[in-house]
Structure 1
Amino acid sequence: MFVQRRPLQFQRFLLVGVLFLAGLLVGTVVLKQNLIARLLPAKSEPVVDERIAFIDEMYQLIKREHWELLFDEQLTTLFQKAIEKVAGEKIALTTTDVAGVKTALEQVLAKQESDESKNIVVSDVVNMVLVNLQPFGRSRLLSQSDSQAILNSVTNRNPDANYFDALGVPATASSETVTQGFEQKKNEIIQSSATPEEKKQAQQNVERAYQALDSPAERSRYAETGIESSLYSKNLSIDIYYLRLNSFAPTTYEDIAFALRAVPPQPKQTSLIIDLRGNPGGYIDGLPNVLGALYGPGTKAYQLLKQGQKTDMETKTAKLLGLVQFKKVVILVDQVTGSSAEAMAASLKKYNVGVLVGVPTRGWGTMERLFSVTHQFETGQIFSVLLVQHLTLREDGIPIEGSGVTPDVSILEPDWQQELLKYFNSPTLVAAVQTLVDVR
């Protein structure tokens, strides 16, 4: 069959026509969509309420990082009671989870007339929840200045104190001048009309200043950085070396090494007194390093407890050769010895490094950590959270919190000197310990 073909020009014309109609249709659709988009209100991204986001962040942080395993029912109850306390009215949660907490708080915030009052409600609620976590009062919401104060304390930096001024000497003072300033300040305190308690406090302040500036190297470091050494060392006698740890700082391991070089032990010294009295603790992350000075690396020094799980903390640093020569070790503790100082005492007791002498320690067995906050809701303020993340455990596996560490020899017993003699049979060492106990 013969089929007549259409001319090529007609086919091209038809193709162009189809393309034109298609383009017209697409253009009409696009034009219509643009017109509709102009007439309808523009879609905006959902606005994040930083206050509610902050509450969500705090809820998740507590649930994830607090030492105690808290279920939603327990945590929502804490938030509910805090909201009720701040709002001054009963609040019903729609659900026992973070969503229910956020809904309840949104309802309370809706009744507030100003941003300032809303901010106060949110910060008060969170702080109330944190304070009521166990142990009571250890966790809390911190302002920027609060956080800086804690960091200064942990790093042994006190911007409000000047030890050169405390002794009345210049920053370029020699050791002789520092000693003269110390003696003069002591005499001034004795002759002052202050109360006995005020004199005692003033005496402790000048003694601390003197210990910080006694060594030329320590004096130079303090003048340059304002950082005080975390310890003090001296040769008590021909056979006894004395090492007092005032606190735990990030530099304590280095401070010990430095002290052993600045005041090297004498060749005949075989006795060491480690004084942890009055030590409230501090930078517990550095404790494995400090214990490494005595144990060497790889020793399971102590344990931490978090949400039912125990974690062994191993030493990481090398044993300091300056401590190897000591065969008789006494560790002094008192009712102020706390936190990381207690963990150290428990570890030394566990491995029979020495004999603990004193009274039961404070029983402050928590490890707090400072957490930054992503959702900040108050202009000009940066919040952070101090949260109890772990409990420290004693040598027998019992939490130090509320129990403390029991000394091997209690100075409350009338015959404690005889008990200490049974361990070492060293009258010289017992006499030195007796002197330190009497002075304290």
Structure 2
Amino acid sequence: MFRHKTLTTLLLLAGVSLIGFLVYVNNDNARLNQNNPAVEWSMEIFDKIRTNYWSKISEEQLSNLYTLAIEKILNRPLLLQEKNREALKNLMNKELAALDEASGKKFVTSLATVVLYNLEPVGRNALYTSRDEAALRDQVKNVDLGRNLYETLGATNDASPEEIEKSYEVKKEELKKENTPEAKRKMEELSYAKEVLTVTDSKKAYDEAKIEPTVFGKTLSPEVYYVYISKFSPTTFDEFVKLLSDTSNKSSLKALLMDVRGNIGGAVDILPYFLGLFIGQNQYAYDFYHQENYNPNKTKLAKLPSLAKFKNIAMLTDDGTQSSAETMAATFKRFNTAIVVGKTTKGWGTIENTFPIETLIDPVERYSLFLVHSITLRDDSQPIEGRGVEPNVDITKPNWQKTLEDYISYKPLFNAVKIMADKKPEKI
């Protein structure tokens, strides 16, 4: 009887223990499956990468990249039986369960940074704060908040054109006394500031929004007009049209020399409009590649009448020409719009965009992804990325001037290209 009671008691205790264990397991699983905002934030990034990244990336590939990044942050190996979104989410819930809110935020932002950095092209994708995104927008608009052109001239922000000219002359005389490379650089900055602040349109843009010009033009000879485009910003199109319209009364002009050396690209959205000025409306100008799809881009405007007189066009490129400027050079080659002269471009053939993260992990900070969304293609349909756009005339070759003569028979343009190829791009 005693033995029977003891056995019954042991079975009851075992049952209670088993129930306790099951409750613990169920509570643990419930805790892991709770919607941790930091985990949800990370999984939103996971999904946005798969949807918006330029290359098609499988759930397994991206999960593996995340796992390697977590191992790097934790400095220990992880055992993930399955490489998929759900398994990754469970792993992150488990790791974050032991962290407080601040540590969890630091963990997931570090994880996103590592993952994004290692997406191809390496270092081209990033996690942005709202401040980072604002700085990017300013860069695209050609706004430099780190300098004040009025201060460069030693003038007040409300200085009149006459006062600006006077300040310029004073500063110029001071710099003339110094015969140093630094003085030469400052003289270039001084001349640029004066140019921006004494031209009505550019002064207005600068005074209202600190937007600096991106298009500069001058007559090189009675027959040749020179245009330097430093980057592509939302104002570049209007600047270019205005500049060309100002040449309409110069009947002797027959050739145009465009300079995109050092042009870092920028607002790719204006290219369908800008290229239409040269090749006409509804032309298939260039392609973007996104996740195994080729997306053709057609021009949206008709040819610009003030360009009609330029029967001969050349374009200068170098290894600092990148992004949108490379796409433009490739289009000019494809349509035989211009003879491209200089060096092979940088080979930065990516189109980036920002994608906001809706999930919040911080009451005051908003994050976004800066992702390579598409790859640009050159005139032979090969990616620009890592290859660049090769010029018709490569000035690194010993016989480049002979090749130039084969391409450009119009002597005034030939001479202008020879001279400018040996000089820096000119803003004034």
TM-score by length of 1: 0.83
Residues 1:360 and 1:189: Cα distance change in structure 2 (over 3 Å): farther
Distance 2:404 2:279 in 1: 23
Deviates more, 1:417-426 or 1:380-389: 417-426
Query: 1:235 touches 1:242 (CA, 8 Å); kept in 2?
Result: yes
CA shift at 1:383, angstroms? 0.8
Query: Rg: which structure is higher?
Result: 1
The residue that corresponds to 1:289 in the other structure is: 273
Distance 1:341 1:186 in 2: 34
Q: Which amino acid aligns with 1:159?
A: L
Query: Which residue of 360, 365, 378 maps to 1:394?
Result: 378
Q: Which amino acid aligns with 2:95?
A: V
Query: Which residue of 55, 59, 67 maps to 2:46?
Result: 59
Aligned residues: 392
The residue that corresponds to 1:88 in the other structure is: 75
The residue that corresponds to 1:133 in the other structure is: 119
Q: Which amino acid aligns with 1:320?
A: L
Query: Which residue of 427, 430, 439 maps to 2:414?
Result: 430
Query: 2:247 touches 2:306 (CA, 8 Å); kept in 1?
Result: no
Q: Which amino acid aligns with 2:153?
A: L
Q: Unpaired runs of 5+ in structure 1?
A: 1-45
Residues 1:414 and 1:182: Cα distance change in structure 2 (over 3 Å): farther
SS in 1 for 2:347: coil
The residue that corresponds to 2:321 in the other structure is: 337
Q: Deviations over 1:281-326 (max 9, x none)?
A: 1111221111112122201111101111111111112322111211
Query: Which residue of 293, 311, 331 maps to 1:309?
Result: 293
Distance 2:374 2:305 in 1: 32
Distance 2:293 2:175 in 1: 52
Query: 1:417 touches 1:430 (CA, 8 Å); kept in 2?
Result: no
Q: Deviations over 1:251-288 (max 9, x none)?
A: 22112112223455611211001110110111112211
CA shift at 1:199, angstroms? 4.8
The residue that corresponds to 1:364 in the other structure is: 348
Q: Deviations over 1:92-123 (max 9, x none)?
A: 224321111111111221222x3211111000
CA shift at 1:225, angstroms? 2.6
Query: Which residue of 139, 143, 148 maps to 1:162?
Result: 148
Q: Which amino acid aligns with 1:71?
A: S
Distance 2:423 2:171 in 1: 19
The residue that corresponds to 1:79 in the other structure is: 66
CA shift at 1:438, angstroms? 2.3
CA shift at 1:169, angstroms? 3.8
The residue that corresponds to 2:17 in the other structure is: none
The residue that corresponds to 2:95 in the other structure is: 108
Residues 1:159 and 1:58: Cα distance change in structure 2 (over 3 Å): same
CA shift at 1:430, angstroms? 2.3
Q: Deviations over 1:192-244 (max 9, x none)?
A: 476x3x45654553354344335322223322232112211222221111111
TM-score by length of 2: 0.85
CA shift at 1:185, angstroms? 4.5
Residues 1:110 and 1:416: Cα distance change in structure 2 (over 3 Å): same
Residues 1:66 and 1:230: Cα distance change in structure 2 (over 3 Å): same
Distance 2:357 2:348 in 1: 26
Distance 1:249 1:123 in 2: 31
Distance 1:346 1:179 in 2: 41
Percent identity over paired residues: 33
SS in 1 for 2:359: coil
